[in-house]
Structure 1
Amino acid sequence: MGWERPLTCEDFGMKPSDFHEIKESEIPKHTMTFDKHATGAAADQKHYQKAEKEPIEVMQMYFTAQELYGFCKGNALKYILRSRFKGTELKDMEKALQYMKWSVDVLHGVPIDPRK
């Protein structure tokens, strides 16, 4: 694309002061476990199980691999950047992780199955 300069937080409407520095005392010392049913993953949400074809599947049919990869990568970034502000940080990070997995699948040429 030939970007003239690296992106900064200002490009996303943020200031350096908007970022929260994580203190050592804020990092959990125990092993984290997640309730599988509490995730934001498509496979765990009933409303994603109703349609014959999910939007991500339709995108796979009509988008180039590059377009699909960009979509997945962009959605991961969106969930990461907004996660602190909605009160659903864990779910948003799980959704970002789902989109990152799908972006890796695209790079490997593996079809995305939103039901898994």
Structure 2
Amino acid sequence: MNWGSNTKNVLVAGFAQLPKGTTLYEIQKVVGCVLVIDRDTKTIVDASFTFVMGVTNDFISSMVRGKSVENGIQAIVQDIEERFLVPPQRAIIQALRAAYERYCDMHEIN
């Protein structure tokens, strides 16, 4: 889909350092979270995370896609804590929070 042509969508990103001592840290140092959020419905319409393995990105993206951010992201964070059991879990949550905070900052301005 051509997200940029839909003016109600906004793209936000957040980043976090990966845990030192992990293989992933040696490869890329930080993880990024990119969210496309529908400003009208306050729903995440697409998501992507910077991972070497596609299945990891697909799994975590599917966990956030379609979720509402209208009342915060605590329910999404809880789901990640329960189902995404990998060493960089905290970094993923931090990157997600950073992207969400950027969305909130933009939302306050507009």
TM-score category (smaller protein)? 0.3 to 0.5
Q: TM-score, normalization: structure 2?
A: 0.36
Structure with a larger share of its residues in strand: 2
Larger Rg: 1
Q: TM-score, normalization: structure 1?
A: 0.35
